[in-house]
Amino acid sequence: MNKKFAAALSGGAVLVLALSGCSDDEGDKVGDWAKTFCDQAKPQIQKRADAHQIIISTAADSKPAEIQAADSKAFQDIADADRALAKAVEAAGAPPVENGEKVKQDAIKELNATAVAYEGLKKQVDALDPTNQQKFADGLQGVADGLTKIEKMDQNALSKLEEGQLGQAMAKQPGCQKPTASVPPKASASPNSGSGSSDGSGTGSDPSKKPSAKPSAKPSASKSEE
């Protein structure tokens, strides 16, 4: 069941992958803005990657309660990260590019809207009944459909920041590079998997359960753009 989430979330990595394309020389002001933003964005980009890995690591044949706990935590973590990214854009100020103030406001608006949407998915997942596997599967399909729509919002959230000279400057910053998830894939089942979610945040957070999972690809997009 969670393969649908893994496929949809992989597209969300475009938010980061677009920052790692080719780059050329840029002005000092643009480079300074990119450094200010990316330094603040780095832990949030990592948090998103970890959340993606939690979902991917929860195998399609895991128990409903395990999938529910993993997805609920991941959706909340992504929502928190998107809100923090919006604050990072606001703190960095208007980028020194054409229509910079509008670019800033649009990015903040989109990131906050995406955070609200992910929290809506969390509530939807939390409301599912894991004791009825068929109903749970049907409900999870509805969540997956909603995730597909949110993924498009996610890709658009920072699209204007990633364009032209500004995007090239961000691509040079370590904080805006595509991260490697710090949550390792689970390779074996746990005899007593817990259903509660961890309250860990930031990098290196680990779910409090151990879902039965097959090793899978890291949460990176299947394609990148220059």
Span 143-181, pLDDT tens digits: 989 988 888 888 888 888 888 889 999 999 999 988 887
pLDDT, tens digit (0-9, with 9 covering 90-100), for 67-123: 999 999 999 999 999 999 999 999 999 999 999 999 999 999 999 999 999 999 999
What confidence score (pLDDT) does residue 67 get?
A: 93
Count Cβ atoms within 10 A of the Cβ of residue 181 and give its class: 0-12 exposed, 13-18 middle, 19 or more buried.
buried
Mean pLDDT of the chain: 76
| Residue 224 reports pLDDT greater than 50 | no
pTM of the model: 0.71
Tokens of 40: 């603040």
Q: Are 70 and 207 in contact (CB under 8 A)?
A: yes
Q: Which residue spans within the chain are E strands per DSSP?
A: none
Please report, for the chain, the start and end positions of each structural domain, with discontinuous segments joined by +.
3-8+27-175
Q: Are 34 and 167 in contact (CB under 8 A)?
A: no
190-196, long-range: CB < 8 A, 24+ apart = 193/63, 193/65, 193/66, 194/69, 195/65, 195/66, 195/68, 195/69, 195/130, 196/69
What confidence score (pLDDT) does residue 135 get?
A: 92
* Residue with the two structure tokens 């498009």: 152
Split at pLDDT 50, 70, 90, the class of 185 is low
The Cα 56–Cα 48 span in angstroms is 12
Exposure string over 105-135, b if 16+ CB within 10 A, otherwise e: ebbbebbbebbebbbebbebbeebebeeeee
* Residue with the two structure tokens 């020194």: 96
Residues 6+ apart with CB under 8 A from 147: 4, 5, 8, 9, 121
Torsion on CA atoms 210, 213, 216, 219, rounded to nearest 10: -50
